[in-house]
Amino acid sequence: MDFYALLGVARTASAADVERAYRRLARRYHPGVNPGDRVAEQMYRRVQEAYFVLSDSERRRKYDRGLLPVDEQEPVAFEGFDFSTPAEGPFAATFSELFADVFVQAAREATTPTRGQDVTVTMHVPFEDAVRGAERPVSVTRQERCSACRGRGYTARAVASCPSCSGQGTLRWTRGHMVFRKRCPTCGGDGRTLREACRRCSATGVVPRAEVVTVTVPPGIESGSRIAVPGRGHAGALGGPYGDLYVTIEVGDHRIFRREGADLHLTLPVSIAEAAFGADVTIPGLDGPVTIRVPAGTASGTTLRVPGAGGVRHGTTARGDLVATVQLVLPRSLDERSRELLREFARINREDVRRHLFETH
């Protein structure tokens, strides 16, 4: 239990800030104001316990160092009033000050188990795995509940006498004329057991753990998608549940393919002869080589489609198409015979291929 969060003050809060926060909370949860309310009664006891520790500089110093852990369920007993000494100084207060109103939510949240924070990582997925689906490992560093102290932040060892209560097992303090007594939170009431800060987790209750998590990548996933892995985030406070792991997908590029949804696109080089006379050409496909028909007279930029040869549509079993965009490839060098044939071809075919550029409508 975080006493600072319970009172709604920062760890650097002054004694006066602690005092004011205590007065407001005491008014809110006092049994006289909430008769029969067990939750308010429990909160009132916890507020008293927090104030008992943080209002004393020595106890506060030990608490900050993790040397004064407390039992969250420990009751605080109200013993009555002591009028033998005047209520003066920083501990004096009128009932109106003591029972001023307060904001409740922060205190309530500080004493209840809370879910751990989520962990977010980015995972690079090869193009083929994103299209087909795969199991991929990802490295994660997260906060695990400390096994040495079971997440409490402290361990126990026996000593001759508890330094907090001098072996009495109980602690007594006053608030103005009111007198309170409670079981010593350090020794648990037996006067001989000291709870000391857990060395493994430095009293935090959690330890960092690096691990490799196997993530199921569904077929057809795209860059920017997030995959949730429940319960693989940080440990929760006060025994709360673990958060989740969120993996952001970053799909890699492919040497020849690019994706548009479930369709796979590639550029298909075609020779002049193949484009002019038509041809059956073999191209790479997702599941192996695919034969595609190039019709006679195919122009550069024409798209040829092979239905069902693309990737899987995300969330379904349907597949997209393989789309090939024709790119005419001219020979880099020509022998004299080829040049002669092309000249003859040009003499026979005198069509003006740029005529449409000058047409007006």
- Domains of the chain: which residue ranges? 3-112, 119-148+206-251, 258-358
Q: Which residue has the higher pLDDT, 218 or 108?
A: 218
Contact 272, 330 (CB under 8 A): yes
Tell the CATH superfamily of the 119-148+206-251 domain: Urease metallochaperone UreE, N-terminal domain (2.60.260.20)
Contact predicate 107/40, CB 8 Å: no
Residue 91 banded pLDDT, cuts 50, 70, 90: very low
> What distance in Å separates the CA atoms of residue 4 and residue 173, rounded to the nearest whole number?
20
Confidence bin at 178 (pLDDT 50/70/90): low
Q: Residue 281: phi, psi to the nearest 5?
A: -115, 150
Q: Worst-scoring range by mean pLDDT, 131-140, 184-193, 282-291, 294-303?
A: 184-193
Pairing relationship of beta strands 178-183 and 76-81 according to DSSP bridges: antiparallel
The CATH architecture annotation of domain 3-112 reads: Orthogonal Bundle (1.10)
pTM, to two decimals: 0.55
Q: Round the CA-based radius of gyration of the chain to a whole number and report it.
A: 38
pLDDT score, position 109: 42
Query: What is the separation of C-alpha 38 from the centre of its chain, rounded to a whole number of angstroms?
Result: 35
For the record, the structure tokens of 181 come out as 């007594």
Instruction: Output the pLDDT for position 190.
Output: 66
Judge whether 133 and 225 are in contact, CB under 8 Å: no
Task: Tell me if 3-112 shares its fold with 119-148+206-251.
Answer: no
Q: Tens digit of pLDDT for each residue in 115-136?
A: 889 999 999 999 999 999 999 9
Please name the residue that has the structure tokens 């927090």.
50
H/E stretch holding 109: helix 105-110
Q: Using the structure block, give the residue that is written with the tokens 């920062």.
A: 10
Q: Are 89 and 39 in contact (CB under 8 A)?
A: no
Q: Which of 30-44, 186-200, 272-286, 338-352 has the lowest mean pLDDT?
A: 186-200
Residue 304 pairs with which residues in a beta bridge? 324
pLDDT of residue 78: 47
Q: CATH for 258-358?
A: 2.60.260.20
